[in-house]
Structure 1
Amino acid sequence: MSSALQQPQKAAHGLDLAREVLQIEARAVEALALRLDASFQHAVDLILQCHGRVVVSGIGKSGHIGSKIAATLASTGTPAFFMHPAEASHGDFGMITHADVLLALSNSGESDELLAIVPLLKRMGAKLISMTGNPHSSLARESDVHLDAGVAQEACSLGLTPTASTTAALALGDALAVTLLDARGFSAEDFARSHPGGALGRRLLVHVWDIMRSGDAVPCVPANASLSEALLEMTRKGLGMTAIINAEEQPIGIFTDGDLRRILEQGLDFRGAMIIDTMHRNPQSIGPHQLAVEAVELMEERKINGLLVVDEAGKLIGALNMHDLLRAKVI
Structure 2
Amino acid sequence: MNSDKQDHGILALAGEVLATEAAAVSALKSRLNGNFARAVRALLSCRGRVVVTGIGKSGHIARKIAATMASTGTPAFFVHAAEASHGDLGMITRDDVLIGISYSGETSEVLAIVPVIKREGTFLISMTGNLESSLARESDIALNVHVEREACPLNLAPTASTTATLAMGDALAIACMGSKGFTKEDFARSHPGGSLGRRLLLRVSDVMRRGNDVPAVTPGTNVLQAVQEISRKGIGMTAVVDCERRLLGVFTEGDLRRLIERVGDIRRYRIEEVMTATPKSIAPEALAVEAAQLMDRGRCNQLPVVDEKRRLVGALNLHDLMTAKVI
TM range (shorter): over 0.9
Q: Which residue of 2 aligns with 1:71?
A: 67
2:264 aligned partner: 268
Gaps of 5+ in 2: none
1:48 aligns with 2:30: no
1:259 deviates by 1.8
**2:156 counterpart residue number:** 160
Residue in 1 aligned with 2:187? 191
TM-score, length basis structure 2: 0.97
How far apart are the structure 1 equivalents of 2:287 and 2:58? 41
Whether the 8 Å CA contact 2:260–2:266 is kept in 1: the answer is no
Deviates more, 1:146-155 or 1:249-258: 249-258
**Aligned residue type for 2:270:** M
Asked if residue 94 in structure 1 is aligned to residue 93 in structure 2, the reply is no
C-alpha separation between the residues in 2 aligned to 1:141 and 1:160?
25
CA distance in 2, matches of 1:6, 1:231: 70
The correspondence for 1:284, drawn from 280, 283, 289, is 280
The reply on whether 1:294 has 2:290 as its aligned counterpart is: yes
Q: Let me know the Cα RMSD of the aligned residues.
A: 1.1
Deviations 1:276-324 (A, max 9, x none): 1221222110111111001001101111000011111111111100111
- Show structure 1 runs of 4+ deviating over 4 A: none
Cα displacement (A) at 1:93: 1.0
Following TM superposition, by how much is the alpha carbon of 1:216 offset from its aligned partner in structure 2, in angstroms?
A: 2.1
Matched residue type, 2:15: R
Q: Aligned residue for 2:208? A: 212
Q: Distance in 2 between matches of 1:297 and 1:52?
A: 41
Map 1:126-205 to 2 at 5 A: 126-205=122-201
Q: SS at the partner of 2:4? A: helix
Deviations 1:123-148 (A, max 9, x none): 11111100000000000000011000
Instruction: State the TM-score, normalized to the length of structure 1.
Output: 0.96
Measure, in 1, the Cα distance between the counterparts of 2:293 and 2:266: 35
Question: Is 1:307 matched up with 2:303?
Answer: yes
Q: Which amino acid aligns with 1:170?
A: L
Report percent identity of matched pairs.
57
Query: In 2, distance between residues paired with 1:268 and 1:206?
Result: 43
Q: Which moved more, 1:149-158 or 1:6-15?
A: 6-15
Who is 2:250 aligned against?
Answer: 254
The one of 71, 77, 84 aligned to 1:81:
77
- Give the CA deviation at 1:233: 1.5
Q: Tell me how far 1:271 sits from its aligned partner.
A: 2.8
For residue 267 of structure 1, report the CA deviation from its aligned partner.
5.3
Q: Secondary structure at the match of 1:159?
A: coil
The aligned length equals: 327
**Which of residues 221, 237, 249 in structure 2 aligns to 1:241?**
237
- In 2, distance between residues paired with 1:126 and 1:227? 75
Contact 2:106–2:133 (CA<8 Å) still a contact in 1?
Answer: yes
Distance 2:267 2:105 in 1: 87
The separation in 2 between residues aligned to 1:10 and 1:315, in whole angstroms, is: 71
The separation in 2 between residues aligned to 1:271 and 1:222, in whole angstroms, is 16
The residue aligned with 1:104 is 100
**Partner Cα separation in structure 2 for residue 109 and residue 290 of structure 1:** 52
1:317 to 299, 304, 313: 313
SS at 2:304's partner residue? strand
Question: Structure 1 stretches of 5 or more lacking a match?
Answer: none
